[in-house]
Structure 1
Amino acid sequence: MAGFNIAVTGLKASSTMLDVAGNNIANSSTVGYKSSRTEFGDIYTASVVGAGSSNTPGSGVTVANIAQDFSSGTLEFTNNNLDLAINGSGFFQLDDQQGGITYTRAGAFELDKEGNVVSSDGKRLQGYGLDEKENRLPIGDLAVNQKEYPPKATSDMDLSFNIDARNDATTLLPNYDKDAAGSYTYSTTVRTYDSLGNEHTIKYNFVEQRPEQEYSQYDAAAGIDINVSGVALTLPDQAAGTLGDFEIATDAAENGAVTIYRLSDAKLEELQAEENDPRIFDIEYRVDGADITTGKLKVLTASEAIEYGDVLVTDTAGDIIPSSATDSEGFVSSNQKQYYEFISGSYAASQEHEVKIAGVDIKISTGAVGLDSESMALAIRDRESDIIEANPLVQSVSWDPDQGEFGSIRVEFKPEASESELSNNSLTFAEVSGNALFSATPDTDISANYTIAGDNSFDGVYRMYAYLNGEEALDIGKLNDPGFGSSTEPGPVIIKYDPTNGILSEINGEEIRTGAAVPDLIISGADPADPTNTVTLSLAGSTQFASDSIIKASDQDGYPKGDLIGVSFAGTGEMIAAFSNGEELKIGVVAIASFENQAGLQSSGDTEWTATLASGSALLNPPGTGLNGLLNSASLEQSNVDLSAELVKLIEAQRNFQANSKTLETLNTVTQSILQI
């Protein structure tokens, strides 16, 4: 009887259903597990002759397929950034380093001793490497191979602030001092880093300009030719009745005794040209009626030139004419050039000379054709430190081949030196050799700045200083005096605000038009480890409103060396290394595999699958592209087993097993009855 075989197939099918349900229940807590279900098919046999469905009772049941349900399980959040879950479709690709490629949804990963991202059984997670420009490289092992982040010197800095427009500039101390809070309007400090990762600070001081104007006054004989910042001028001569490059001012008489001449417009325009000295506002020549053979040359500078140092005034021989103003009020510049020039007068060829500066001897030789500037510079440089040690007020000693007829020794003093300390007695100079090489009396340019009463045209004008670590004055673009080598030098620049709206209107001589970009300042010397580095400073957004002085934004792009402190993943698959210096680095992208027929994948254990002909080859793309799901870091996908449904299946399988057993029992009874006939 065929019924016995039919009942047996039912028992086998029910047993398989019990096995599948039991396996699902056993893996209900397995990360990334996909539940299975038993699919049955009936069995029919047919004869060649007389076949017909109505005449065929059937031959039982068979297990047609054990199919897996690839629907997503619940995502459970963890405290481990290396726990990954795919929120959507797709699989992680694993490589066992022996040619075996498997796919999984179980994302419990960790780092091995070589920095590779591996699964719990040691297989390596696959993904895209990234080059320096974050372009994706071919698929390979994802690894954390950068354990430290090199330092970066600050190269860009953004500083936005508001300076209280209610501050009264007239209450500031008359002499600026970087360490005296009462001498500047506002101050702020920004952190920076050098190329070795050392931390430094840049302190910015802002000094609002007083309503005053600077001038320097020089004694000069009438009718002589002079040079002002390299431009030749002829002074008026009352005795000869000539005006030279000047014209009688409209207020020709002052107190009935002083005649005022002003530089002609054409000559002033030439003098103010960019290549000469655009700081000069006007030049006057005043002659006292009591002595028409001499006069006083007054050089006025624009408001933004205050503390830029004296204008260079020389006679036709190139000798510097010292200023001799008698007004004692006004600013004394802390950045003003203060120096002695020992100018060579004549020389005899092929002779040895010896001079002493501050008691320190310098040996000088003259060649057959004149003074050798290179040898002079070396001789002076070799003794510079000794001279500075002997006279602490001295800042530098150098050779200037262009000053005077044959050259000069320039001794520059520190800015803090007072005018009284700069008298000739403060620096001894002697020519020991019998043959005089230098003039007996040094020419000087040691003049303070003097002021005259002004108006409110200086509102919103600030001198901006910068100091490295609060001490060393930095070069932030201050224009050097014409003829002094480099175009810029340490010292203040001028920033201006429109007094009608408090908006930046000018930075270091560059006008800011409405809607135009704010020009940057270039800071030199802020990296002690690499002096060639510069910092680009943006003051965009800075204002002068009638509210408290505050920092509105401050940022810089430098950082010290950093050590790896962790790894995280973005939703689109980027593996991001975090370092102790606050920097982050993208070091790879997780690859997500998809299949044309994921039901065709073959289970290989450890919640992993392998590709088959039925599934097709894996298609690899980053998360979030195409049909791929997004990546969730610090998450694990739980099993998608529905326990309640599986318990119901157990009941169904048990019932089916009992029913098929009853079939066997019934068939056995029938068989016994037949045997008893």
Structure 2
Amino acid sequence: MAGFSTAITGLKAASTDLDVTGNNIANSSTVGFKSSRTEFGDVYASAIVGAGSSNVAGSGVTVTDIAQNFEAGTTEFTSNNLDLAINGAGFFQLDDGQGGVTYTRAGAFELDKDGYIVSKTGKYLQGYGLDDKGNRLPLQNLAVTEKESPPNATGNIDLSFNINDAEDPTLLTTPYDKDVPASFTYSTTVRTFDSLGNENTIKYNMVEQRPVRDIYAVNVSVPATLNISGVDVSFDASGTPSAADLSTLQNTDKRIDTSTLAFTQDATAAAGTGSVSFETYSQYSSYGDMLIQDSGGVDIVPTKTERDANENKAYTLGSPDADTELNIGGVAISIPSGSTVNEISALITDKQAEIKDRNPSVESVTVVEEGGTFQLDVRFKAEYGDIGTGFSVAETGASTIAVLTANADDTYDGDNSYRGQYQMYAYLNGTELLDIGKSVDPGETGFSVDSSNTLSEVGAVMLGFDPSTGFLDSVNGTSFVAGATAPALTVKGADPANADTEIDLDLTDSTQFASASIVKSSSQDGYTKGDLIGVSFAETGEMVASFSNGETQNLGVVAFATFENQSGLQPSGDTEWTATLSSGGALLNPPSTGLNGSLRSAALEQSNVDLSTELVALIEAQRNFQANSKTLETLNTVTQAILQI
């Protein structure tokens, strides 16, 4: 009777089903475990003759496959960054160091004594190394190769700030002194590091230019030749400077207003004896000393004074012999015939407020007496610069005597080039003045008319802000579109451990608005030595080492393996699988590329076993085993009955 064999196959199949279900239940808490299910197929015996007859009884059951369920388990988060979980498709690739390669979803890794990342069974996690430029290297054992972060000297500083436009530069004390806060407008300090990792500071002091012009004067007897800023300027016997020399000087030293260069005869001395004087633009007031030498190359120390950058117009006053009318800046003043100068002065004083209202550039209108001569002085606000013909004083009427005569000796052109201009000084650790790109002064060794060939020296550089918008628009003489990227300054000498270190200083986005002076952003790329404090992983697989100095470094990228048929993988124990001909070879790529899942650090994928389902399956397997046992019992009873016939 074939029924005995049939029942036995059922018992074997049910027993296998119990084994598989029991294994699932046993591994319900195993990290990365994938459950299996038993798949069955019926057995039919057939002969060559009569094959395919529907009257053939079945020969039992066989286990056709123990299929694996690669559905993801739940993710449990941990406090260990070396615990890794895969969110999506993929396997970790492990290498035992002897040529054996397996694959797992169990990501409970740790560091061995050599810094390699290994599984609990000591197999090496595979990934891509990285070169110095971040390019991926061939597959290798992932390891924490960097135990410390060497120091890095500061090479770049990004600094932006706002200087309060409401600050009054005329209130600054002079001369400038780094240790006297009242002598500079704003100061800020940036932390830096030298090549040995020592911490230093660079202090930046900003001094707003005042509305004054510097006047330099030297005693001389003409004819003579003076070397001013490296240019020989010849003066003839009348004290007139050479036009060609003035042109050369104008192209050489942009600080000098060559239109003011003149010889003044000393009234108390012999003919041809007096002084040569000139002015510098108010943009460069108090910027630095001027190099002046005589024809023999001997330095001459000039006297240096200041005058306001305001424009002044001066006129002499006289009494009219007929009714006339003065028109001062568009304001008419009737002057009766025979008026005394004092009376004219009173009439002008009465109209001063109206004149100022009509002419916003006017600061004051006054009448003064000098040596018995009365003079009308019109003073303009410095910020309006050169007024030129924009303001007039005229006389109309039947007067035969000119009431107003221009007094050229007391007339100055205005200069508002100081507006929005700052001298910026830099000090290492608050004491040593640094070279931040100031060009060598004209006349000194290293100077060149071509600024690209001019050497630099310690000292201040000029920062310029657009007076209309408040945006930085010039750095060290280089202009650019307001609000655009500023040209970088080169800071030298700020690394006491390495004199060759240079720092690029970027002041982009600095402003001069009428609000509090503040640092808007500040960063630098230097750091001290750091020790390894931990390793973490990004979703895209990068293994990132963190150091005590706040720096991080990418050490490698975890590789994910995928298969054309992952169901064809062969279990090899320890929650690992090996590739087979059925699964195909592993396709290795970083996480989050293609169909690969992403990587989660400090997380573990739990078993995907559903205990409720497995317990029901256990009952079904038990029932099947009992039913097949009943089949044997029944066949045994039938056999006994036959034997008793």
Partner of 1:243: 240
In 1, the alpha carbon distance for the partners of 2:466 and 2:89 equals 60
Partner Cα distance (2:10, 2:563) in 1: 35
Q: How many residues align?
A: 531
- How many Å apart are 1:230 and its aligned residue? 2.0
CA distance, structure 2, for counterparts of residue 53 and residue 547 of structure 1: 101
Give the aligned residue type for 2:514.
A
The one-letter code matched in structure 2 to 1:580 is S
- The secondary structure found in structure 1 opposite 2:202 is strand
SS in structure 2 at match of 1:233 = strand
Deviations 1:124-148 (A, max 9, x none): 1111111111111111110111111
The one-letter amino acid of 1:269's match is: S
Matched residue type, 1:172:
L
Identity across aligned pairs (percent)? 62
**1:638 alignment partner in structure 2:** 606
* SS in structure 2 of the partner of residue 627 of structure 1: coil
Matched residue type, 1:617: G
Q: Which residue of 2 aligns with 1:168?
A: 168
1:279 aligns with 2:258: no
Can you list the C-alpha shifts for 1:102-142, whole angstroms capped at 9, x where unaligned?
A: 11110000110100000001111111111111111111110
Aligned counterparts, 1:136-151, within 5 A? 136-151=136-151
Q: By how many angstroms is 1:214 displaced?
A: 1.2
Aligned residue for 2:571? 603
In structure 2, the partner of 1:108 is 108
Q: Equivalent residue of 2:80, what SS?
A: coil
2:193 partner amino acid:
Y
Instruction: State the shift of 1:244 in Å.
Output: 4.4
1:19-418 superposed matches below 5 A: 19-238=19-238, 243-245=240-242, 264=243, 266-273=244-251, 276-282=252-258, 283-291=261-269, 292-325=271-304, 327=305
Distance 1:284 1:664 in 2: 133
Please give the secondary structure, in 1, of the residue aligned with 2:588.
Answer: strand
Q: Secondary structure at the match of 1:132?
A: coil
User: Within the alignment, does 1:478 sit opposite 2:438 as a pair?
Assistant: yes
Question: Which position in structure 1 is the counterpart of 2:424?
Answer: 464
- State the secondary structure of the residue aligned to 1:23: helix
1:537 aligns to what SS in structure 2?
Answer: strand
Cα distance, 1:99–1:626 mapped onto 2, change above 3 Å: same
Counterparts of 2:626 and 2:53, CA distance in 1: 28
Shift of 1:174: 2.1
Query: Aligned equivalents of 2:633 and 2:484: distance in 1?
Result: 98
Once residues 496 and 324 of structure 1 are traced to their aligned partners in structure 2, the CA distance between those partners, rounded to angstroms, is: 28
SS at match of 1:152: coil
Task: Summarize deviations over 1:405-454 as a string: whole Å, max 9, x none.
Answer: xxxxxxxxxxxxxxxxxxxxxxxxxxxxxxxxxxxxxxxxxxxxxxx997
Aligned letter for 1:200? N
**One-letter code aligned to 2:523:** D
Aligned to 1:673: 641
**Counterparts of 1:220 and 1:76, CA distance in 2:** 92
For residue 514 of structure 1, report the CA deviation from its aligned partner: 4.5
Return closer, same or farther for 1:524/1:304 CA change in 2, 3 Å cut-off: farther
- Following superposition, the deviation at residue 457 of structure 1 comes to 4.2
Q: What letter is aligned with 2:510?
A: S
Kept after mapping to 1: 8 A contact 2:492/2:503: yes
1:153 CA displacement: 0.9
Contact 1:216-1:310 within 8 A present in 2 as well: no
Shift of 1:29: 0.6
Whole-angstrom distance in 2 between the partners of 1:509 and 1:303? 15
SS of 1:55's partner is: coil
Aligned to 2:322: none
Provide the C-alpha distance between the structure 2 equivalents of 1:269 and 1:470, rounded to a whole number of angstroms. 41
* Distance of 1:195 and 1:169 partners within structure 2: 39
Displacement after TM superposition at 1:455 (Å): 5.8
Task: Please tell me whether residue 617 in structure 1 is matched to residue 585 in structure 2.
Answer: yes
1:375-413 CA distance string (max 9 Å, x none): xxxxxxxxxxxxxxxxxxxxxxxxxxxxxxxxxxxxxxx
The amino acid that maps onto 2:295 is T
CA contact (8 A) 1:154 1:535 kept: yes
* Residue identity opposite 1:462 in structure 2: Y
| Ranges in structure 1 where 5+ consecutive residues have no aligned partner | 246-263, 331-451
Q: 1:149 to 1:550 in 2, by over 3 A?
A: same
Asked if the contact 1:220/1:297 (under 8 Å) is kept, the reply is: yes
Matched letter for residue 189 of structure 2: T
With 225-234 and 543-552 compared, the bigger mean Cα shift is at 225-234
| TM-score normalised by L of structure 1 | 0.76
Which one of 501, 504, 515 corresponds to residue 472 of structure 2? 504
Q: Secondary structure at the match of 1:647?
A: helix
Residue by residue, what CA displacement relative to the aligned partner does 1:534-569 show, whole Å, maximum 9, x if unpaired? 111111000011111111110111111111111111
Match of 1:490 in 2: 458
Equivalent position amino acid for 1:620 in 2: L
CA contact (8 A) 1:127 1:139 kept: yes
Q: Distance in 2 between matches of 1:303 and 1:329?
A: 10
Structure 1 residue 284: Cα displacement: 2.4
Which position in structure 2 is the counterpart of 1:253? none
Q: Is the 8 A contact 2:215 2:307 kept in 1?
A: no
Q: Look up the equivalent residue of 1:144 and give its one-letter code.
A: V
How far is the alpha carbon of 1:171 from its aligned partner? 1.7
User: How far apart are residue 618 of structure 1 and its match?
Assistant: 1.4
SS of the aligned residue for 2:481 comes to: coil
1:541-556 paired onto structure 2 within 5 Å: 541-556=509-524
Q: Which amino acid aligns with 1:281?
A: D
Q: Within 5 A, what are the aligned runs for 1:438-453?
A: none
1:241-300 deviation line (CA, Å, top 9, x unaligned): x7342xxxxxxxxxxxxxxxxxx4x53331122xx3222223222113343321111132
CA deviation map 1:584-613 (0-9, x unaligned):
111111111111221111111000111112
1:5 partner letter = S
Distance 2:483 2:204 in 1: 26
Letter in 1 for 2:126: Q
1:494 is paired with a residue whose SS is strand
Q: Secondary structure at the match of 1:628?
A: coil
Q: SS in structure 2 opposite 1:272?
A: helix
1:63-96, CA deviations, whole angstroms, 9 ceiling, x for partnerless residues?
Answer: 1111111111111111111111111111111111
Task: Say if 1:80 and 1:634, in contact at 8 Å, map to a contact too.
Answer: yes
Deviation at 1:49, TM superposition (A): 2.1
Aligned to 2:361: none
User: Partner of 1:458: helix, strand, or coil?
Assistant: coil
Task: Answer whether contact 1:467 1:473 (CA < 8 A) is retained.
Answer: yes
Q: Distance in 2 between matches of 1:671 and 1:127?
A: 66
Contact kept? 1:211, 1:454, Cα under 8 Å: no
Give the structure 2 partner of residue 536 of structure 1.
504
User: Given that residues 237 and 244 in structure 1 are in contact (C-alpha distance below 8 angstroms), is that contact kept between their aligned partners in structure 2?
Assistant: no
